[in-house]
A and B are shown apart, each in its own frame.
Chain A
């Protein structure tokens, strides 16, 4: 079974802090994704990566950056956290084709105070 592990289930941070969300997958997948999910808005793609050191902007990249130094790890960075970034963050991975189903981690519920 594919295992996608996110570093924290729940996280509370303060406005202005730099926040790191970590994601690791164990299936040697090329593609990794970061989404946020808010009530009524569905899943929104923040960033994705097709390969090590490679990143592509999704639909809502503003206020976020990412890092992929190793194939199995994809980090999401909130440069200066704001209250409107309070959300559920979901990491996913998929094999080489962008059309393959994605496998999700458990999610990180992030609160910015």
Chain B
């Protein structure tokens, strides 16, 4: 079974901290990778796509390491509003495979 594995956390960090999440995927044929954000009792929302060369969107940086089959998300200067669960996603044979998520709690 093809899986996406994440540390469930929670990661407790103070405002302003830098925090990094990793996830591993087992399907070496995966072509597309994403990070989603899910607030408590809400639907998942696309945060960013992940490209081989790495990509940045403001305070968020995503990296892909195909050789080791892992994906990372770095959040700089954490805000209280970053508190959420972050889902790692990799494409499977016919659809996407979602990780169970990593919970982030940012405190004042």
Contact = CB atoms under 8 A, between A and B. Distances in A.
* Secondary structure dominating the interface of B: loop
Interface stretch (A12-20, A71-79, A100-108): A100-108
Contact of A98 (B44, B45, B95): B95
B96 to A, nearest CB: 6
Contacts of B63: none
Scoring A40, A48, A99, A105 by chain B CB atoms within 10 A of each residue's CB, the highest score goes to A99
Nearest to B90: A99
Nearest to B45: A104
A100 B96 CA distance: 8
A100 B32 contact: yes
B94 to A, nearest CB: 5
A56 interface: yes
B9 to A, nearest CB: 13
A43 interface: yes
Contacts of B98: 42-43
B32 A42 contact: no
A103 B44 CA distance: 8
Interface in A86-112: 88, 90, 98-107, 109
A105 B95 contact: no
21 contacts: A42-B87, A42-B98, A42-B100, A42-B101, A43-B44, A43-B87, A56-B94, A58-B95, A98-B91, A99-B32, A99-B91, A101-B32, A101-B34, A101-B49, A101-B89, A103-B46, A104-B44, A105-B43, A106-B42, A107-B43, A109-B41
Interface of A: 31, 33, 40-43, 45, 48, 56, 58, 88, 90, 98-107, 109
Q: Give the 4 A-B residue pairs with the shortest CB-CB distance, closest first.
A: A42-B100, A104-B43, A99-B32, A99-B91
Interface of B: 31-32, 34, 41-46, 49, 87, 89, 91-92, 94-96, 98-101
Given A43-B98, A102-B96, 13 more contacts: A40-B100, A42-B87, A42-B98, A43-B44, A98-B91, A98-B92, A98-B96, A100-B32, A101-B89, A104-B44, A105-B43, A107-B42, A109-B41
